[in-house]
Amino acid sequence: MEALLEPVFVFKLNPSFTSKNPYTVHFPNLPKIPSKPLVVATCCAGTPSPSPLLPQDSDQNPLQLSPDRTRDRRKVARIAWEKLVRWSRSWRSKAKTDVLERTKKVVVLGGGSFGTAMAAHVANRKAQMEVSMLVRDPAVCRSINENHFNYKYFPEHKLPENVTATSDAKTALLGADYCLHAVPVQFSTSFLEGIAEHVDPGLPFISLSKGLELNTLRMMSQIIPQALKNPRQPFIALSGPSFALELMNKLPTAMVVASKDKKLAHAVQQLLSCSHLRISTSRDVTGVEIAGALKNVLAIAAGIVEGMNLGNNSMAALVAQGCSEIRWLATKMGGKPATITGLSGTGDIMLTCFVNLSRNKRVGVRLGSGEKLEDILSSMNQVAEGVSTAGAVIALAQKYNVKMPVLTAVARIMDSELTPKKAVLELMSLPQVEEV
C-alpha cells in the first residue's frame, strides 16, 4: 500500500515536438521534485489525471499515428512521387533520339530461346523494321517463316510478322544496322569465323551470350573482335536478370548495356528500351561480363544445395559466398565492385540461383539429387553455359590469385573429381576467417 501512496511522476513530451497525441510514461517510486518546465519535457508530481489528448481505450495502440500525422506522411510521400515523375518525364523528353527511326534492319545470330525473345522484342518496337534471324536448323527456319513460331522454344508464342529467318549469312547480315549475338559462347569463335567475310566492320555487335571460352578464358568482348579479325568492331554487352519466357510475355524487366563507347551504349539503350523493358548503361564491360558468366556457375551450386535438401540457411550462405567470390575476381580483372551489386551482378544472381526456370540451376538440382552429368546434359535441348564456364574458373582463380572455394568446388564436381556431398563437407571445414 505504501508504494501505491507514493507520488507518481508523469513524463509528457512537449507538444511542440510531437503531434496532438503525446505519449505518457509513468515513473513510480521516484523522489518528489517540483513541477518545472523543461526545454523538451515537463514533469509534474501527483496522481496523473486523464489527458484529453490521449485515447483512454486501453486496447488502442499508443504508437498508432494520429490522423494529422498520417495525412502529413501521405503528403510527403505524394510530393516525393510527383517530383520523381516530373524528373522522369523531363529526362525522357531530353533523352529522345532518332535511333529507332533510323534503324531499318536488325540481325539476330542464333535461333535459341533468348535470341528469339530479343528478336520478337526488337520487331515489336517498330513494325517497319526488318528483323532477320540467322539460324542453322532448317526446320526452325521454316517454322518461323511459314507459321511465325519458333516451334522448338516458343511453340505457343506467335512472332511478329516482320521477323524472318534464314540460313544464309550474307542475306541475314546485308544492310543490318545492329547485330544481336545469341550464339553460345563455346561455339561463337567458329561461328563468327565462318561469317566474318559478310560482317560490316562498323556493325555494332550486341552480345547476349554469357560465359567464358573454356580453352582461352576469353570473354565475348574479346572473342567477337578477334574472330572477326577486327579489333575495332563496335561491341556492347547486354546482361541482367531476364528469362526469355518473361520477355516474350512482356513482363516488366530491367537490364544493362555495357560498352566503352558511351554514345553507342546510349544508342542501344534507345533501341531496346520500352514500357516493359528498362535499360541502364554502364562502361564497365569487364564487370558486366564476368558477373554474367560466373553467376551461371553459382546457379549450379545453388541447385546442388536444393537437390540435396540442405535447407534455406545453407542456400543463403552459399549464394552470399559466391557473390563475394565473383566480386573478388571481377575487381582483380579490372571490374568495379558497384557493378557486382547491380543488375548484371546481384540482380542476375538472384534470378538464376533462386528461380527454377534457370537451366543452370536445374542442372545443379539434378546433380544434387544423384544424377550423372552426362545423363543430365543429354536430356536437355538448351545449353547450360555454367557447365563449360565452370572449367575456366580454376584457371582464372589461379591466374589472378583469387581464392574461390564455392565456384572451384562446382568445377571439381563437373569434372567428376568430387561428389556434391564431399564438396559440402570440405567447404564447411574451411578455416573460419574474417568476412571480406
Catalytic residues: 295
Burial 4-35 (b: 16+ CB within 10 A, else e): eeeebbbebbeeeeeeebbeeeeeeeeeeeee
- Cα–Cα dist 346/330, whole Å: 13
* Cβ pair 273, 279 in contact under 8 A: yes
Q: Distance between CA atoms of 165 and 122, rounded to whole angstroms?
A: 14
In terms of Cβ atoms closer than 10 Å to its own Cβ (0-12, 13-18, 19+), residue 71 is exposed
Rounded Cα distance between 410 and 408, Å, is 5
Burial class (CB in 10 A: 0-12, 13-18, 19+), 397: buried
> Rounded distance, CA 237 to CA 205, Å?
8
Cβ–Cβ < 8 Å for 291, 344: yes
Distances (CA, A) of 333 to 137, 227, 233, 290, 396: 37, 22, 22, 9, 10
- Contact (Cβ atoms closer than 8 angstroms) between residue 340 and residue 291: yes
Contact between 413 and 304 (Cβ < 8 Å): yes
Amino acid code (one letter) for 120: A
Nearest of 242, 259, 250 to residue 206 by alpha carbon:
259
Strands ordered across the beta sheet of 36-37: 24-28, 8-13, 41-44, 36-37
Q: Could you tell me which residues come within 8 angstroms of residue 345 by beta carbon, excluding any fewer than 6 positions away?
A: 287, 291, 295, 323, 326, 327, 330, 339
3-state secondary structure of 105: strand
Decide if 25 contacts 11 (C-beta within 8 A). Answer: yes
Q: What is the DSSP string of 197-263?
A: GGS-TTPPEEE------TTT---HHHHHHHHTT-TT--EEEEESS--HHHHHTT--EEEEEE-S-HH
